[in-house]
Structure 1
Amino acid sequence: MKYKALLSILLILIGQSYGQENNCFEKAEGLYWPIEIGSELKHTAGNDNKVSVINGDSIEFDSKYYLIERETYQSGKTKESYWREENGAVYNYNKEKGIESMELPSRIEVGTKWNSSDGLWSYEIVSLTSNYSTPFCEFRNLLEVKTENSEQKGTIYNLYYKQGVGLIGLNVNGTPYSFIVPNKELNQKNFMAYGCEELNTEKEIQSCTYSKIFEHIKSNYKAPKKFKKGRMLLNAIIGKDGGIESVKIVKTIPNAEAQEIEALRVIKLLPKFIPAQIDDGQPVRSSLTVPFNF
């Protein structure tokens, strides 16, 4: 078997409640996507973090006025988006294409469908009672919207909205990609492999952890006699005790059942980690995404 580096490992912390008053926006009410002056939300964004602010600045396109949302990423990237609300519906203006599209309809009912103005994105409301877990909160009764892009075959995005707050979380093909975090400062630590904890920097610790995961897979994976070429993606949940709680296949290769079974077996056998932590050393569940390139 030929497989390349497995170690584009994505840290997504999920599942532990965090108890500060209103830290989970318990008192929020109103629209599922409020476009309000003064709004400021923090999210993870893949391997980055961002702060989104609507400070009251506005801009006119095609005789309509939009509030400007400014996103500032920890990596240094910035982005502007343009939003307006009308009769409960939310619209976004794409400056590059010169078109407006509806991002959320005024009729919030399961089964409601719509498309972006350029026809690339399709949307459907699939639930009004979805749940979503982050390291800090257990959100209930969320609006869930499924969306797909016609140019990204096989990729499904699920967006979760809380009334009075807006976007809480985003999953890509069932795997968490982004979620909201409290506005307070939090100290977060990635999960790490035993034997790596005494290294000096976070980068060294992560590199050591990824190397140990790679060596485990390399030593334990028994390739089937016949295998299909392609890319397989597995997601494992690391529990608060550092052990593997569950493993699922996020993306697979057609007719590669033997490879699926072996990949699942090997990931389930990963040794315990030092679990991810927040604030004063409180352990939290975390998610490990491992690609297999055959």
Structure 2
Amino acid sequence: MKYFCLLTLFLVSINSFSQKEGQLFCDGDPNSDYFTLLDSNKYIIWRNTYYVEKMERQKQLNGKTYVEYSQSWESGDVVKLYLKKEKGVVYQFEDCCDDDTVRMPNHPQKGDTWKTADGLVTYEVISIESELKTPVCSYKNLLELKSIFSNGEFTFFYQKGYGYVGAKEKDILISFVVPRSPKE
């Protein structure tokens, strides 16, 4: 009888946890921020490849504390990002400059604009009520961020409580998150 009770309790707790995970993935958390520093793996399809983004550790750079993220690409390449959050603003460390780049302002609003620390990329909040349909989820109430690079223009989408969920180039979906590794 003990075994049966323990097994039942275990199965109920797994089911409850799984439901919360699925809800977080597609529904996010409307009471949270658009750009969260998550301590979990994030699997991201980008065009015809993918990468896994993972929080690694804290790192000191120029006397400031950042959270190090690795983006491990299918090809084996690894890109490191260094992010920090201060007063609700998410910043990214820039090797090039004496200042950090704003990745996401505190309480972003439609029409907000900013540039990277080197001045090469411009960001503009297009909407905080956008929708995005991917092969995995149909998202609503997303922050839509237009990003103008020297080599093109992209639109990135962020969900409260989860962060980045996808990107478009010229209205074509080129990137989206998936709940598990594409290798599985």
TM-score (norm 1): 0.51
Distance in 2 (alpha carbons) for counterparts of 1:172 and 1:98: 31
Q: After superposition, where does 1:249-288 map in structure 2 within 5 Å?
A: none
Structure 2 match to 1:50 = 51
C-alpha offsets along residues 53-87 of structure 1, whole Å, 9 cap, x if unaligned? 113x1112222111000111122111111000111
Q: Could you say if the C-alpha distance between residues 181 and 175 of structure 1 is closer, same or farther in structure 2, counting changes exceeding 3 Å?
A: same
Greater mean deviation of Cα atoms: 27-36 or 100-109:
27-36
Provide Cα deviations, 1:236-260, integer angstroms capped at 9, x if missing partner.
Answer: xxxxxxxxxxxxxxxxxxxxxxxxx
The correspondence of residues 13-32 of structure 1 with structure 2, limited to 5 A, is 21=19, 22=22, 24-26=25-27, 28-29=29-30, 30-32=32-34
* Alpha-carbon distance, 1:184 to partner: 6.4
2:27 partner SS: coil
**Per-residue CA distance 1:79-125 (angstroms, 9 max, x = gap):** 11100011111100123556411111113111111111111111111
- Give the match for residue 157 of structure 2: 160
Structure-1 separation of matches of 2:48 and 2:121: 24
List runs of 5+ in structure 2 lacking aligned partners. 1-17
Q: 1-side partners of 2:145 and 2:97: how far apart?
A: 24
TM-aligned CA deviation for residue 175 of structure 1? 1.8
CA separation in 1, counterparts of 2:131 and 2:141? Answer: 6
Task: Give the counterpart letter for 2:33 in structure 1.
Answer: L
Identity of aligned residues (%): 24
Q: Is 1:170–2:167 an aligned residue pair?
A: yes
User: Is the Cα contact below 8 Å between 2:144 and 2:155 reproduced in 1?
Assistant: yes
Larger radius of gyration: 1
Q: Which residue of 2 aligns with 1:89?
A: 89
1:133-166 CA distances to partner (integer Å, 9 max, x unpaired)?
11111011100011112x33xx221010000101
Amino acid at match of 1:34: T
Distance 1:27 1:168 in 2: 10
- Relative to structure 1, is the Cα distance of residues 62 and 185 closer, same or farther in structure 2, using a 3 angstrom cutoff? closer
Structure 1 residue runs of 5 or longer lacking an equivalent are 1-19, 188-294
Q: Are positions 1:179 and 2:171 aligned together?
A: no
For the residue of structure 2 that corresponds to 1:94, the secondary structure is coil
